Amino acid sequence: MVDLRERQGEAPAPRRSAHATLAAAVAAGDDRLRALAYHLLGSRAAMDDVLQEVYVKAYRHLAEFRGESAIAT
């Protein structure tokens, strides 16, 4: 993964572990995702199941994230 700041001659951002990166993304967007999932699914249980699947899939593919956009996108 190439940090865009490196290409622009700036100091690269410090690398974080996959756990820390995912934890930060979850903390930043969990409330919004829960509200959307509940609105779409109409059930707290279904919302929890879907978000668990989403977070597990995001974690498994985190190494493929190139950093060219915000992790929330």
Query: What are the tens digits of pLDDT across the range 18-62?
Result: 778 788 888 999 999 999 999 999 999 999 999 999 989 988 888
- The residue among 26, 15, 29, 24 whose CA lies nearest residue 63 is 15
In a domain, 6, yes or no: no
Tell me: pLDDT of 3 over 80. no
In a domain, 73, yes or no: no
Total number of domains in the chain: 1
In a domain, 48, yes or no: yes
In a domain, 11, yes or no: no
Domain enclosing residue 50, as ranges: 16-64
In a domain, 49, yes or no: yes
In a domain, 5, yes or no: no
The reported pTM is: 0.66
Q: Which residue has the higher pLDDT, 3 or 58?
A: 58
The pLDDT, as a whole number, for residue 35 is 97
The pLDDT, as a whole number, for residue 8 is 56
